[in-house]
Amino acid sequence: MTDINKLKEILLELEEIKNVEFLKSVPSAVTTSWSEEIWTEDMIARDSIQNFYDGVIENNIEIDKIEISIVKDTIKIYAPNEFNLEKLYYLGSTKSESDVQQIGAHGEGGKKVFSDLARLGVYNPVLISGDKALIISVGDEVENTNGLRPLIYNYFKINKLNGNYFIIKTINKKIKKAYQYGLKHFFYSKNPIIGDILHDYNGISIYKSNNVNGVGFYKNLKRIDIIGIPVIIHINKSYAALDKKVKMDRDRKAFDSKLQSSFYSIVSRSGFYYNDMVGNQAIKHILKSSKNIWPKGHLLLSALASNSYGRLKDDKSLKELFSNDYYAESRWTYSRDITYNDWFSTSTQNFIRNKTNKEKKKKKILPAYFTSFGVMSALESFIKNKKNAENRIKNKKTNDLTLKEKKAIDFMFAAAKSISPSFAKLFTKDEYNDPLYNVSFKTITCKDLLGELKDKYDYNTKVIYLHKSLFKESFGKMFSVFLHELSHALGGYDGDRSFSDCLTILIEKCIDNNNEVKKYSKEWSKIVN
């Protein structure tokens, strides 16, 4: 049985209240055992403050007009607007789903706050609005319910006060600390954790954080702790991927890792104009301030890298951040300059393995996506070397064959015809003979390539570039490169199945015709000497 006189005394102890008149007590179907999971102190504080937040928004009152005070064991929240205390008794809400400012949509938050405060030993919370007061007490155990105790709504008439209040008394330090954080749970211009604005586009804004860590807000409510990066991110428009979670999340918990990835991807993909990422101060701040966690990585950094589509690789403002002290892991998914087949070629993998092992000894290794910010990797080095070699070819730093080199190539064709006539028939140096492929040869001195096949005029006209040193090598060395490059005409890249099959057949022919190989090997010395 509720002691009404005791509840009156609680009200009269408040300096704002001079007289009290009891109106009614209404038992609720909500009990102190409502829901299996007890809210944390932070969740309780946030949700009880949220009603005040929604109230001032609805009445066009500045959010900083909400006052939160903690004096000894008394926690008090105040806002200048008034509302109907009777609404707190009922489930349901008048808030529109389209209203991005107001967060609650079920009317359950208040009941959960009252229930869980009781479970944490905080009884008789006081709510005041105008000339009405409400105290939520805990009723007696209901028979045959395994200890269920209902919340009792006790209504009083008091002297008229301006605005509305929420008041509790507790010695619980965690609860006090949670209420001290107070309005920082919500996005508003005077939130003390929000620093200077860095970027604003498409309903997504990015600010410096005044704390060592950052916060991600969605529709004005804190959803993410951005550990290790002092940045404030606010998405203030609807996205289906996030709204689905929000609609189902009546406890308004923080986003899990999957939702965080979606949040950061939206920021990276939709928060920047298509050419507005290069030289962007928000991106530079995020990278510069997160230096301590670069090796470990972060979902936000990964999202920025993945959604930059290579535009940040040559951003000079970012290059200075990394200097020459870092090296990135190699991963094909973060390169737009190499094919899948080339990535798995023996030459690529050997280069990456050896180069990475060498760089690890003198540089800090970062996740592969840092290549999107201009950090060099073994793969990037490989691609750069290959491009340089190709550029040297394109720039015609090549030579026509000498008479001696032409004689050597004729010798190679003769050997190929002897060992595998059907293969050799596919190629000719005489365009009038109508072969499958018409090939010509040039020499190169580029150290990065032993051989390279390029299309020339049309699909069946090829140029094979051979390193000049090959003409002084053994027959086996020269012949293997010769066959390798001719096989490319049939099969494309090193990793292509058709190329591999062709080369395998040729190797088999060479083994089966070992005597022919020996014959040409002996004669080769006469050609090159």
Same fold: 4-185 with 398-528: no
* Separation between Cα atoms, residue 195 and residue 269, nearest integer Å: 23
pLDDT surpasses 90 at 10: yes
Tens-digit pLDDT profile for residues 50-59: 889 989 999 9
29: tokens are 């179907």
What is the C-alpha to C-alpha distance for residues 99 and 121, in angstroms, rounded to an integer? Answer: 35
Of 93-97, 231-235, 284-288, 388-392, the range with the lowest mean pLDDT is 93-97
Q: Cβ(213)–Cβ(300) under 8 Å?
A: no
pLDDT value at residue 141: 87
User: Is residue 34 scored above 70 in pLDDT?
Assistant: yes
Helix (H, G, I), strand (E, B) or coil at 495: coil
Per the DSSP assignment, residues forming a β-bridge with 326 are 364
Query: Residue 65 and residue 195: Cα distance in Å, rounded?
Result: 20
- Decide if pLDDT at 69 tops 90: yes
CB 492, CB 499: distance < 8 Å? yes
Minimum mean pLDDT range among 43-52, 150-159, 344-353, 515-524: 344-353
> How does pLDDT run across 138-150, given as a tens digit for each residue?
998 888 778 789 9
The CATH code of the domain at 4-185 is 3.30.565
Q: Give residue 464's pLDDT.
A: 84
Cα torsion 427, 430, 434, 440 to 10°: value is: 50
Across 226-240, 329-343, 383-397, least confident range: 383-397
Residue 414 has pLDDT above 50, yes or no: yes
Check: CATH 3.30.2010.10 for 398-528? yes
The predicted pLDDT at position 290 comes to 97
Residues 219-270 have pLDDT tens digits of 998 999 999 999 999 999 999 888 877 766 555 556 778 889 999 999 999 9
Parse the chain into domains and list their residue ranges: 4-185, 194-322, 398-528
Residue 109, pLDDT > 70, answer yes
What is the pLDDT, as a whole number, of residue 436?
64
Higher pLDDT, 378 or 451: 378
